[in-house]
Structure 1
Amino acid sequence: MMTVFQNKYGYFDEEGKEYVITRPDTPRPWVNVICPGDYGLVISQTGGGYSWKTHASLNRITRWEQDLIRDDWGKYVYLRDDNTGYFWSLTWKPVCQNPEFYQVHHGIGYSKFISRNYGIRSQLTIFIPKDDPVEIWWVELTNESNQEKTLSLFTYLEWGLGVAPDSHREFHKIFIETEFDGKLNTLLSRKRFWELPNEKGQHWNRDWEYVAFHSVNEPVVSFEGDKENFLGMYGSLQAPAAIKKGRLTNSCGKWGDAIGSLHNQVKISPGESIQLVYLLGAVKKEEMTRLEELILKYQNLKTVEKAFTEVKRFWNQLLSTLEVKTPDVGFNLMNNVWLKYQAISGRIWGRTGYYQAGGAYGFRDQLQDSQIFLLIDPDKTAEQIKLHAAHQFPEGRVNHWWHPLSEIGAENNISDNLLWLPFVTIKYLKETGNFDFLDEKVPYKNGEEATIYQHCCQAIEYSLSKRSKRGLPLIGDGDWNDGMNAVGFAGKGESIWLGHFLYGILKDFTIVAEKYDDVNRAARYRKEAKNLKKAINDYGWNGEWYIRAVCDDGYVMGSKECKEGKIFLNAQTWAILNDVADEERAKKVFRSVEKYLIREYGPILFYPAYKKPYPNIGYLSRYAPGVRENGGLYTHAATWAVLAACKLGYGEKAYRILKSFLPPYRGQNPDLYKVEPYVTPGNVDGPDSPNFGRGGWSWYTGSAAWTFLVAIEGILGIKAEWDGLRIEPAIPTEWEEFFVSRQYRGATYQIYFKKIQKEEAGIYIDGERLKGNVIFPHGDGKIHKVEVFFK
């Protein structure tokens, strides 16, 4: 098999659909986030991780501690040779046996652990069926020795059952009860306590409303529900007392530290293979019939094989609606597979990772992430728009975030949240042309119904009401950058970036209002946009670039006069993207970006970093210099720099910037980069950090969807506009030809790009030359061949 982007720790397979890790000691945990909708799990290359249903923090099934150095909390399967007493684990942790062979295949919707120890080859495949709240641990053991083996398997997990982390374990454990159902070969676990308020609003007076189960498809020799019995007092997961002894105590009940462990014993002749299936899941406590049905269903090996095939088919169908083939292999595999998978499984459905065990919906976060569905399944973007609109107040402000299950949400004055609702709605309308969507009704937080159009208008109106005397938007408790939480605390601070953002929305929503026959609003928004643009250019221009913000006390951030925080990336890129800057000024702005912010590992958020805390700015200045938002590369913002370069026609520069932070290329230096080479990180340390180039906060970052959009809409130049698909690539000079298959408004467009030397450039659809560079939608359900000849 051909390997791609191989480094000392692993490689992509030839199709790019698996990342194969060849040794367990990666520089940081390299994980997979597997969530096909509601039930999910995170698992690292060592076997660390956790499981949840619906909400990764409020409804955690298993315990896990965030420790990326030790990575020693997980769900494990031990294997013991009962003839010799030797034991190891099917994943590297927790025993840390030095294996003869070890591979981890992180795939799309599954992870597979393959190892060989003491003549036994093991394969552990972990996946989640699409529509069932259960994870499957599919174990295959092969005896590669010349002697018959008697082996014991012991599973191990710690029950969490509710809000995580349960750091006060001595308190939480006394509410958990476990029992063993011998008929089903299943451990059951319940908790008589859930931190969420009950229907009366009372705290600490509610049951955990689920039953968790851990099952196996073979007879159980012994079982265990108590941690002390399994580990032994002062014992460890690396060498538990129960594994040394070779048997569990058959203890369950209400009085221990609740775990789940099942013991099976098998005999394997030389050359023989056997398979076992372990299950872990949870159902509503009134659904005991379903629980039994799930267990019986997936204790059948043929059903498991079929479910695994269906999982791979499900993900493949979902992710294959857009395909690219370019000369850049890393560009292809990220856009064809991993960026889409990360955004959907990790951000929209899972909403969690290793660097942040989340579960909540961020108003602006999942709205931006849902743009990934525009090119895959736009109806799912519409669902996210409606979900978010339901978390808006009648006056237009919104929850900063909210929790599914409890619906508890945060209210603050962060100023950009609400504007992402019209922003994404505009993108949806351009993609689909479905203006009937604007008439769909969704309730506000108080239950009062309004149309999507009214929800969007209220967001814009609320933003327009929050401006300074100079006509600039007030930053409030922060804008896109939460770390600037003190800039406008007193209600006077201004945001130039927010001005750029609002200006673009006003321009586009003028068109929406016209199409909606809301003529007066369209005229007013056109006037507001003009005035806002003038105010930004009058008060925000600093001679060579735009300032970032003005604090309550008048301190200017992002000015030539600043020793720290001299120039900010977002204030420049969005001036270009939304045409706040005229052509001459836009080019000058980009030159400043190149001079100060474009670095070898991507564009940093600002420069120089703050070296000490600034109480008038906020916690942004309290990060270590060069880390995260304090002068590091924030991947989310870096993508907009690529888009700005594309907008200016700087294809070579745009591609070079994108490639500088694209994970497969950064992963070629894994000991510096540290994080996974197959998903985007939230941030990379900037030049003011001694760890310049180090990645962090992977998986749970909004940068995946934006990297995908920037690649397709910016570099490849295929972008949905009001009337059709605009074709305007910004590619590197060495690309001679490339291909994109893209669905749009009920048809599929197979677009072949080819560089020509002498012939006339142009675009042909089904053999007929197109006037201009916009493909008008066919909507006929057919495949159309598009040929783009460029010089």
Structure 2
Amino acid sequence: MNIKPGGTAGLNLAYAVGFFAEDDSYVVTQLGGDSPFGSTLAALGSDYAVHISPDGAGWSVFAGLDITSPLGNGKGWYIRDRESGFVWSPFYLPVGEKADEYEVAFFPGQVTAYTLKNKIAASLTVAVLPNKPVEVWLVRLENRSARERSLSFTTYFEPRVGQDLEIGYRMREKLLLMRKSLSSPTDAIASDMVLFHTSTLVPARIQTDKMRFMGQGRSLRNPLELDEAVDTQPECSSQNPLASFTVEIDLPIEGEAEFGFCVGVAHNADQAVELAKGLSRTSLIKEAVQMARMKWENAFSRTRLDSPDRVLNALVNTWLPYEAYAGWMRERTGGVCLDPAVATDYIRRFYSICAATPDMARESIVKFASGLSLTGTYSPDSRSFASLSLSELVWLPLVVARYILETGDACILAEPISLADSKGSQLTMQDLCERILEICSASREDAGPMFLRASRAWQDILGNPQTDVNKDIKEPQPLHQSAKSSEELVLPRRIRYLLAISKVLAEPGPREQFEQLFSADGAPTSDCAVACAALSKIVEELLGVKAVVDGLLLQPRLPDSWYDYQLIRVLRGDVYKVHVKRSLTPAKGQLAIYVDGSRISGQVIKEFGDGQEHLVEVIFC
């Protein structure tokens, strides 16, 4: 097989140059494209997300609705020296001035831009918060010059709306409210939605009209608002609405200041006020940002790798599971445009992260099943419909089986499902999944290898590993025997990137596995889908740790360049601390497994069910 080193398949935009820091953040040091990790900021339990590039361009979405323009020019931040009038941004955009020092660090659900310009060190953190429809902006300024500095910081938030908004400012809460006028037709913003913008400091200036902010012949790079010296007050309504606060900061020599802002959506003004009160002080915003990071760390603690490959650790522990969740978030908030080829992504993304986000995995599985019909069509919202192929439908029993293996929650099989065209009648989840498998069994050529995989997983959780449904199915042929063996394969750009940054993944064995995976018909191509597939491939085949009905199956592989590695795996409440190492002395056999000091026969660690830690030692002899 010939592997093209480059190509443009799946290449939307080149990745920016960066590296993994000790805390697993991905730090971009050179602009020129999207970050390979973290460009979608998502939070657990929230439908609010932010798409952002390392240069600061981006947009916000909520429940399928673009809050700001997808062109990426609906938000901006400005720092102005009030003495010299010089203006720059904590991100590269919108001003576009190069800084003396500049880097952007991506975390799950957060991004922080660090700049040093005009002897002012600035950091701006943009973060989304769990269970809240908001994003927060945390700002820190430090004076590194030998004189006192007088600065101003200006925000720019332009809602994506074509008609006028009613606008009100509540001085006590430092809260700017915007909502659709009752007399205006509903377009980009729902009539019952309230947008709001808050500040932890009292604004010196407030602007709510885009034309007044921008000025004649100006742009976001040099808006008139930053030149004005007179106070402005919010209008009662505006046909070109925006929300902009300017706060003033005086910094002594070596002094610093921290403050914050919040933008978000609410169902009414009272809810907006409550959200604003919870983020009214800088300390509250800092606490919320830290809590959001801790929630992600806790979610990803079910699988933790400690190996000699620092990059692989960051991929397994943080970024591949996060990208899987972020992809689900994009599907969840992606509006009503429905593509049959990716409709199942709504549950497919959870295949590799069921253990990390069990509640949302269960909710998504049930919701997806309820959108199916007896004829195989799928409707997520009763407005858009798609006819799913068997290879897509079979993902439901496959993900349900995976969810049960990871969580032990077999009660989902009895979950009543009202199909879209059932006229009130219900099936259980088990009945629905078995019906799908029966349909696929009668049309094996259409379902292909996915049916074999799903049927075996399904029978495993039911305790019937050998059944008539799959006895005549042949194993899919290896890649080198397939019709594609003579074709050139262009690996997805994310896989090419992973092979470039991880020495272990670039070794012949792992590389060949990726080539086999992504050469098959219907192989994933999008960045998120590739991340999901890569995570499962690395954990289950390279590291050789897999959940099975009886417990944990260990089939580890130790790369030639490694002496050992450690892995923490949480399965159904039990914690397995696995240490895989080479034996220093030759012995019979290839693998010896010790659990809590006692050697076991076979390679399956039986489920304890006690919720305790268990030490597992695996020795390659």
Note the C-alpha offset of 1:339: 0.7
* CA offset digits 1:186-227 (Å, max 9, x no partner): 22111248999xxxxxx9799432101011122222211111
> 1: distance between equivalents of 2:455 and 2:515?
33
> 1: distance between equivalents of 2:191 and 2:524?
33
Asked if residue 26 in structure 1 is aligned to residue 26 in structure 2, the reply is: no
Asked if residue 364 in structure 1 is aligned to residue 191 in structure 2, the reply is: no
Counterpart amino acid of 2:369?
A: A
Give the one of 491, 494, 498 matched to 1:633. 491
Indicate the larger mover: 773-782 or 175-184. 175-184
Number of the residue aligned with 1:758: 586
Asked if residue 47 in structure 1 is aligned to residue 26 in structure 2, the reply is: no
Number of the residue aligned with 1:666: none
Give the one of 257, 264, 273 matched to 1:281. 264
Note the C-alpha offset of 1:124: 1.1
Number of the residue aligned with 2:310: 329
Number of the residue aligned with 1:154: 154
Asked if residue 270 in structure 1 is aligned to residue 268 in structure 2, the reply is: no
Asked if residue 35 in structure 1 is aligned to residue 18 in structure 2, the reply is: no
SS in 2 for 1:245: coil
- Conserved in 2, the CA contact under 8 Å of 1:193 and 1:205? no
Number of the residue aligned with 2:576: 749
Number of the residue aligned with 1:386: 366
Asked if residue 121 in structure 1 is aligned to residue 121 in structure 2, the reply is: yes
> 1: distance between equivalents of 2:35 and 2:576?
40
- Conserved in 1, the CA contact under 8 Å of 2:524 and 2:533? no
Number of the residue aligned with 1:571: none
Note the C-alpha offset of 1:711: 0.8
Number of the residue aligned with 2:449: 500
The equivalences for 1:132-151 within 5 A come to 132-151=132-151
Distance 1:192 1:451, change over 3 A: farther
- Conserved in 1, the CA contact under 8 Å of 2:204 and 2:247? yes
Note the C-alpha offset of 1:370: 0.8
- Conserved in 1, the CA contact under 8 Å of 2:324 and 2:353? no
The equivalences for 1:731-746 within 5 A come to 731-746=558-573
Counterpart amino acid of 1:12?
A: F
TM-score by length of 2: 0.85
- Conserved in 2, the CA contact under 8 Å of 1:150 and 1:266? yes
Asked if residue 187 in structure 1 is aligned to residue 166 in structure 2, the reply is: no
Number of the residue aligned with 1:788: 618
SS in 2 for 1:264: strand
- Conserved in 1, the CA contact under 8 Å of 2:19 and 2:27? yes
* CA offset digits 1:50-91 (Å, max 9, x no partner): 1222x2xx32222231xxxxxx52421111112111111121
Number of the residue aligned with 1:647: none
> 1: distance between equivalents of 2:574 and 2:400?
21
How many residue pairs get aligned? The number is 586
Number of the residue aligned with 2:597: 767
Give the one of 662, 685, 707 matched to 2:534. 707
Asked if residue 590 in structure 1 is aligned to residue 480 in structure 2, the reply is: yes
Asked if residue 373 in structure 1 is aligned to residue 353 in structure 2, the reply is: yes
> 1: distance between equivalents of 2:556 and 2:506?
8
Counterpart amino acid of 2:560?
A: T
Note the C-alpha offset of 1:304: 1.9
> 2: distance between equivalents of 1:661 and 1:186?
55
> 2: distance between equivalents of 1:682 and 1:85?
51
SS in 2 for 1:147: coil
SS in 1 for 2:593: strand
> 1: distance between equivalents of 2:26 and 2:229?
35
Note the C-alpha offset of 1:29: 5.7
- Conserved in 1, the CA contact under 8 Å of 2:564 and 2:580? yes
Distance 1:528 1:732, change over 3 A: same
> 1: distance between equivalents of 2:298 and 2:53?
26
> 2: distance between equivalents of 1:95 and 1:234?
15
> 1: distance between equivalents of 2:171 and 2:189?
29
Give the one of 176, 188, 213 matched to 2:196. 213
Note the C-alpha offset of 1:302: 2.1
> 2: distance between equivalents of 1:214 and 1:267?
23
> 2: distance between equivalents of 1:651 and 1:253?
60
Counterpart amino acid of 2:86?
A: Y
* CA offset digits 1:669-690 (Å, max 9, x no partner): xxxxxxxxxxxx975xxxxxxx
Give the one of 655, 658, 661 matched to 2:510. 655
Distance 1:682 1:418, change over 3 A: closer
- Conserved in 2, the CA contact under 8 Å of 1:327 and 1:738? yes
Number of the residue aligned with 2:11: none
Indicate the larger mover: 718-727 or 244-253. 244-253
Number of the residue aligned with 2:6: none
- Conserved in 1, the CA contact under 8 Å of 2:180 and 2:189? no
Asked if residue 301 in structure 1 is aligned to residue 131 in structure 2, the reply is: no
The equivalences for 1:220-231 within 5 A come to 220-231=203-214
Asked if residue 310 in structure 1 is aligned to residue 137 in structure 2, the reply is: no
Distance 1:299 1:248, change over 3 A: same
> 1: distance between equivalents of 2:356 and 2:312?
18
- Conserved in 1, the CA contact under 8 Å of 2:16 and 2:28? no
* CA offset digits 1:93-132 (Å, max 9, x no partner): 0111121221211123321111122222211122223232
> 2: distance between equivalents of 1:205 and 1:739?
50
Counterpart amino acid of 2:105?
A: H
Distance 1:772 1:396, change over 3 A: farther
Gaps of 5+ in 2: 1-14, 500-504, 518-522
The equivalences for 1:512-531 within 5 A come to 526-531=467-472
SS in 2 for 1:502: helix
> 1: distance between equivalents of 2:306 and 2:183?
50
TM-score by length of 1: 0.68
> 2: distance between equivalents of 1:358 and 1:703?
24
The equivalences for 1:236-635 within 5 A come to 236-247=219-230, 249-285=232-268, 288-344=269-325, 346-351=326-331, 363-393=343-373, 395=374, 397-399=376-378, 402=380, 408-446=383-421, 447-464=424-441, 467=443, 472-473=444-445, 495=446, 498-511=447-460, 526-531=467-472, 533=474, 579-581=475-477, 586=478, 589-590=479-480, 596=486, 607=487, 632-634=490-492
> 1: distance between equivalents of 2:16 and 2:232?
43
Note the C-alpha offset of 1:281: 0.8
Distance 1:301 1:18, change over 3 A: same
Cα RMSD for the two superposed structures: 3.5
Number of the residue aligned with 2:19: 11
> 1: distance between equivalents of 2:390 and 2:484?
29
> 2: distance between equivalents of 1:322 and 1:513?
26
Distance 1:264 1:8, change over 3 A: closer
Number of the residue aligned with 2:109: 109
SS in 2 for 1:188: strand
Note the C-alpha offset of 1:329: 2.0
Q: Relative contact order (alpha carbons < 8 A, sep ≥ 6): 1 or 2 greater? A: 2
> 1: distance between equivalents of 2:530 and 2:537?
10
Distance 1:532 1:315, change over 3 A: closer
